């Protein structure tokens, strides 16, 4: 028995659940993109602040620059994740349609063993397999891209923590610099937690 024949019935809730999961992943990615934009603005302010603080905050300034670059790279990374998510949404939607058509064709074949209809069903099953394989590939790509994003955010966390240390050398600017670096650290941690939850999504448990 081919895959679609064997699994059409129980694949529907699986595909429906996958669609819900991928939509949730997309929503989470959108919130990370918003936060990444906030880091960019904060980093810009931190650069100005470091300039005002002069040589005492030179290290902080360098780190603020790095954080600004990080925020841009994170946004690019999220944009590519969004593209992959859209691909997965499209593929899961196609699979939902496949499942419905396959179910109806199966019923028709069971009720009327017309040879040509069996051939149509077989072709439909091959198409279903192709969509399932394509979703599998996109799911893997998304997982890898998510891992890349996670590693990037861990690096951002290191930058934010280093900025906190540098802030301590900021002399009279130490307090405002510490406040800014604390905010950086908090936001990067927020993104890390978001990405961590995405990595654990049951969507990636599928084949």
Partner 1 sequence: MKKTKTIFQEGNHKWIAIVRDPAKPNYLIDTNEYLVTHDGKGLLLDPGGAEIFPAVFSALSSEFDPTALVGIFASHQDPDICSSLALWLEFNPAMRCHVSWLWSGFIPHFGGSADTFVCLPDEGGDIPLDGLMLRAVPAHYLHSSGNFNLYDKVAKVMFSGDIGAALLPPGEDGLFVENFDRHIRHAEGFHKRWMGSNEAKRRWCERVSQMEIDMLCPQHGAIYQGGDVQRFINWFDELQVGVVND
Of the candidates 196, 189, 91, 193, the residue with the CA atom closest to the CA atom of residue 140:
91
Query: For residue 162, how far is the Cα from the chain centroid?
Result: 26
**In the bound complex, what is the minimum distance in angstroms from residue 130's beta carbon to partner 1?**
15
**In the bound complex, what is the minimum distance in angstroms from residue 155's beta carbon to partner 1?**
47
**In the bound complex, what is the minimum distance in angstroms from residue 112's beta carbon to partner 1?**
4
Q: Which residues are near partner 1 by CB under 8 A?
A: 100-101, 104-105, 107-108, 110-112, 114, 116-117, 120, 124
Distances (CA, A) of 173 to 58, 142, 178, 200: 12, 42, 8, 41
User: Is residue 82 within 8 Å of 27, Cβ to Cβ?
Assistant: no
Of 41 and 104, the one with the shorter C-beta distance to partner 1 is 104
**In the bound complex, what is the minimum distance in angstroms from residue 101's beta carbon to partner 1?**
6
Any idea what DSSP says for residue 173? G
Of 100 and 137, the one with the shorter C-beta distance to partner 1 is 100
Of 26 and 118, the one with the shorter C-beta distance to partner 1 is 118
What's the 3-state SS for 63-122? HHHHHHHHHHHHHHHHHHHHHHHHHHHHHHHHHHHHHHHHHHHHHHHHHCCCHHHHHHHH
Of 55 and 116, the one with the shorter C-beta distance to partner 1 is 116
**In the bound complex, what is the minimum distance in angstroms from residue 104's beta carbon to partner 1?**
5
Any idea what DSSP says for residue 202? G
Of 1 and 111, the one with the shorter C-beta distance to partner 1 is 111
């Amino acid at each position: 028995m081919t895959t679609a024949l064997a699994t059409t019935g129980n694949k529907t809730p699986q595909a429906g659940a996958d669609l819900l999961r991928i939509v949730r992943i997309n929503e989470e990615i959108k919130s990370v993109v918003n936060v990444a934009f906030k880091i960019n603005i904060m980093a810009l302010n931190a650069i100005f602040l470091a300039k005002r603080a002069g040589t005492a905050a030179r290290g902080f300034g360098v780190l603020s620059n790095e954080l600004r670059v990080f925020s841009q790279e994170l946004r690019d990374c999220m944009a590519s994740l969004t593209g992959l998510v859209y691909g997965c949404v499209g593929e899961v939607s196609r699979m939902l349609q496949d499942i419905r058509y396959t179910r109806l064709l199966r019923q028709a074949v069971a009720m009327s063993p017309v040879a040509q209809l069996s051939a149509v069903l077989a072709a439909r099953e091959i198409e279903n397999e192709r969509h399932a394989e394509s979703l599998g590939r996109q799911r893997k790509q998304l997982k890898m891209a998510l891992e890349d994003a996670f590693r990037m955010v861990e690096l951002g966390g290191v930058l934010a923590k280093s900025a906190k240390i540098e802030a301590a050398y900021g002399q009279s600017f130490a307090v405002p610099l510490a406040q800014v670096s604390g905010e950086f650290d908090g936001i990067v941690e927020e993104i890390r937690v978001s990405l961590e939850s995405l990595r654990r999504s049951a969507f990636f448990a599928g084949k």
